[in-house]
């Protein structure tokens, strides 16, 4: 395979694997928390960070991490306040990120073409230094997403319950925001800042068409993030398009294929589950006040002959009249 002979392609492919794993790892928690669009906003904010790098001559990968983390913490604080105006405040932060990025890039004297390599990725621009930073950050993000899975799952599933369990919910919430911000920077060179959110969300949406547990959704989303990332980078080698576009289109194709399969699976599962609970063995009954009638052969309740008497099937259990009360059988 000829493309593997090029150093830049080797670096791009390693970056693609790491991005393809880290983005859905964080994305699963964002989707679970119903914050699917957070990655999108962070991508916008990170653009200002890139522009600051271009203006000052510092490495854009570091300036964008710094700005995206600040943006993530701001978003998390606004979200935790829970005010009605939070929605608008976040929207303004996102617009500011994009506009500030373009403005500062202009001041730095960089061209729109330079900016484009950050917005939609570029396989030829991953430097060896960049790759080291990306690799370390991605490994840390993936390790935290796996190692803290029980805690992050609890916080994203039900924040209030997690608080009453004594978990430091604010801390975990900020950690997820920072992990998302770091992932945006990791993904900047392959899928790009404008499309990074797709790689956080689409693999998770595809995976959950086929799964019913969190664990398998998480694992499948990682695989479904990595495959289109590799495929998209290779496609960009042969056809001159931004890798971000080919990665996201490949990822969406996966969803389109999984969706009808998921529909069939769900239908089959529901059919199987129906009648899963035997109405006669619910194992649960508590006295519930007056009966509207005394059971007799004509009362309409199904009857079960039981030795010397007749039981009546009643709300999922059997009643036998015995003097002044009903016995449960």
Partner 1 sequence: MRAAVVDVRGLRVELDDRPVLHGVDLRVVEGEVVTLLGANGSGKSTLVRSAVGLVPPSAGEIQLFGIPLKAFHHWWRVGYVPQRTTAAAGVPATVREVVAAGRLARRKLFRPAGTADRDAVDNAIELVGLTDQANRSVAGLSGGQQQRVLIARAAASEPDLLVLDEPNAGVDRRSQEAFARALRTFVASGRTVLLVLHEMGPLAPLVDRGVVLDSGRVVHDGPLPTPSMTLTGPPDHHDDHREDYGAGLFG
- Residues forming the site for partner 1 (CB under 8 A): 28, 31-34, 36, 147-148, 150-151, 153-154, 156-158, 160-167, 204, 208, 211-215, 217, 266, 269-270, 273, 276-277, 282-291, 294, 315-316, 319, 321-329
Secondary structure (DSSP) of 254-271: HHHHHHHHHHHHHHHHHH
CB atoms within 10 A of CB 22: 30
> Of 87 and 277, which CB lies nearer to partner 1 in the complex structure?
277
Q: How far is the CB of 218 from partner 1 (least distance, A)?
A: 8
**At a CB cut-off of 8 Å and minimum separation 6, what does 223 contact?**
none
Yes or no: say if 196 and 210 are a contact pair by the CB < 8 Å rule: no
In angstroms, rounded to a whole number, what is the distance separating the alpha carbons of residues 251 and 263? 19
* Beta carbon of residue 65, minimum distance to partner 1 (angstroms, whole number): 25
Q: Who's near 222: CB < 8 A, 6+ residues apart?
A: 20, 21, 24, 25, 203
Which residues are paired to 311 by β-bridges? Answer: 304
Q: How far is the CB of 261 from partner 1 (least distance, A)?
A: 15
d(CA 226, CA 191): 12
Q: Which CB, 2 or 294, lies closer to partner 1?
A: 294
- Other Cβ atoms less than 10 A from the Cβ of 78: the count is 16
Nearer to partner 1, 88 or 267 (CB): 267
> Which CB sits closer to partner 1, 237 or 326?
326
Considering the complex, what minimum distance in angstroms separates the CB of residue 202 from partner 1? 14
β pairing state of 309-314 and 317-322: antiparallel
Sign of the CA dihedral 169, 172, 176, 177? positive
Name the minimum Å distance from CB 153 to partner 1.
6
Buried b (16+ CB within 10 A) or exposed e, 87-120: eeebeebbeebbebbeebbeeeeeeeebbebbbb
User: Toward partner 1, which CB reaches closer, 129 or 158?
Assistant: 158
Which one, 3 or 214, has the nearer CB to partner 1? 214
Q: Considering beta carbons, is residue 103 or 269 the nearer one to partner 1?
A: 269
When the beta carbons of 235 and 312 are compared against partner 1, the nearer one is: 312
CB of 5 to partner 1, least distance (A): 41
Residue 107 C-beta: closest distance to partner 1, Å: 40
Least distance to partner 1, CB of residue 293, Å: 8
Separation of alpha carbons 79 and 35, rounded Å: 10
**Helices of type H across the chain:** 7-32, 38-56, 60-81, 86-107, 112-119, 128-147, 149-157, 159-164, 169-187, 196-210, 214-238, 243-273
């Amino acid at each position: 395979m000829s493309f593997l002979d090029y150093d830049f392609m080797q670096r791009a492919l390693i970056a693609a694997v790491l991005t393809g794993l880290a983005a859905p790892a964080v994305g699963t928690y964002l989707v679970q928390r119903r914050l699917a669009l957070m990655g999108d906003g962070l991508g916008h904010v990170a653009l200002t960070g890139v522009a600051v790098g271009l203006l000052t001559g510092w490495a854009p990968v570091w300036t964008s991490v710094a700005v995206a983390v600040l943006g993530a913490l701001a978003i998390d604080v606004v979200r935790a306040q829970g005010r009605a105006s939070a929605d608008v405040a976040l929207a303004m932060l996102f617009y500011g990120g994009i506009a500030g990025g373009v403005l500062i890039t202009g001041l730095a004297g960089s061209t729109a073409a330079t900016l484009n390599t950050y917005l939609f990725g570029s396989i030829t621009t991953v430097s060896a230094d960049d790759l080291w930073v990306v690799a370390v950050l991605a490994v840390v993000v993936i390790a935290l997403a796996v190692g803290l899975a029980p805690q992050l799952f609890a916080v994203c599933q039900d924040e209030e319950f997690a608080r009453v369990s004594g978990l430091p919910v604010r801390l975990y919430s900020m950690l997820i925001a920072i992990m998302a911000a770091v992932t945006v920077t990791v993904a900047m060179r392959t899928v790009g800042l404008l499309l990074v959110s797709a790689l956080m969300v689409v693999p998770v949406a595809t995976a959950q068409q086929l799964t019913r547990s969190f664990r398998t959704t998480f694992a499948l989303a990682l695989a479904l993030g990595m495959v289109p990332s590799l495929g998209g980078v290779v496609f960009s080698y042969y056809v001159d398009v931004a890798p971000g576009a080919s990665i996201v289109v490949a990822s969406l194709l996966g969803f389109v294929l999984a969706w009808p399969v998921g529909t069939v699976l769900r239908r089959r599962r529901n059919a199987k589950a129906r009648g899963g609970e035997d109405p006669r063995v619910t194992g649960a009954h508590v006295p519930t006040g007056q009966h509207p009638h005394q059971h007799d052969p004509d009362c309409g309740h199904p009857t079960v002959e039981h030795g010397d008497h007749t039981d009546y099937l009643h709300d999922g259990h059997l009643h036998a009249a015995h003097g002044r009360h009903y016995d449960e059988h």
